[in-house]
């Protein structure tokens, strides 16, 4: 039988959960899961769930919980790895920033770029939780500390540029 209502012309009417509840109960008793039953009966998983509730069938959520827990653990490991990389980038940029600040000829653009890399990497490491155990600051204070640090370096670079110390060394080995 097809449904001739507007928008459903020529389509079968929707399957009601009450109609398939016995079939859902039978397939579930055979050990089939919600998705497998959904495919077998050509209905949505939501319809299978409603039919299962009518039939008094409960699906084992164990495999889903295990899969979810495994995925959550993998994401936590990935996040820790990324946070570690961000912390390493922050350490390297901080060391380079320190060296550049002590150079005889200071390039404000280099200082600004290093400061931004340092600030961004530090922020990402803080956000990912890698550095929070080393700092006794909440996120608000951590962000404002980074903002202050970045602002200070930007101001310093601008002041150096205004003083005419904006000579750029393109190749430190050549001194040009």
Over residues 27-82, the pLDDT tens digits come to 999 989 899 999 999 999 999 999 999 999 998 777 778 888 898 898 888 888 88
Q: Give residue 145's pLDDT.
A: 55
- pLDDT band for position 174 (50/70/90)? very low
How far is it, in rounded angstroms, from Cα 96 to Cα 101?
8
Comparison of pLDDT for 9 and 49, the residue scoring more? 49
Q: Give residue 4's pLDDT.
A: 41
CA dihedral (96, 98, 104, 108) in degrees, to 10, reads 70
pLDDT 10s digits, 118-170: 888 888 777 776 544 444 444 444 455 566 666 767 776 776 667 654 444 44
Alpha helices in the chain (DSSP H): 17-29, 34-41, 45-55, 62-101, 108-127, 139-162
Q: Give residue 131's pLDDT.
A: 46
Domain boundaries, given as residue ranges, for the chain: 17-55, 74-162
Residue 26 has pLDDT above 70, yes or no: yes
Residue 114 has pLDDT above 50, yes or no: yes
Residue 22 has pLDDT above 50, yes or no: yes
SS3 144: helix
């Amino acid at each position: 039988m097809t449904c001739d209502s507007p928008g459903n012309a020529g389509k079968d009417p929707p399957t009601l959960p009450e109609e398939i509840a016995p079939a859902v109960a039978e397939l579930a008793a055979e050990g089939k899961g919600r998705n497998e039953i959904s495919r077998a009966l050509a209905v949505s998983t939501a319809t299978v769930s409603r039919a299962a509730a009518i039939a008094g069938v409960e699906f084992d959520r164990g495999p889903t919980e295990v899969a979810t827990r495994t995925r959550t653990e993998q994401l936590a490991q990935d996040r820790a790895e990324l946070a570690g990389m961000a912390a390493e980038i922050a350490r390297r940029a901080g060391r380079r920033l320190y060296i550049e600040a002590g150079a005889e000829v200071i390039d404000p653009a280099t200082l600004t770029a290093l400061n931004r890399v340092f600030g961004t990497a530090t922020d990402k490491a803080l956000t990912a939780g890698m550095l929070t155990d080393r700092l006794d600051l909440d996120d608000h204070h951590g962000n404002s500390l980074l903002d202050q640090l970045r602002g200070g370096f930007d101001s310093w670079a601008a002041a150096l540029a205004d003083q005419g110390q904006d000579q750029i060394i393109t190749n430190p080995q050549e001194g040009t």
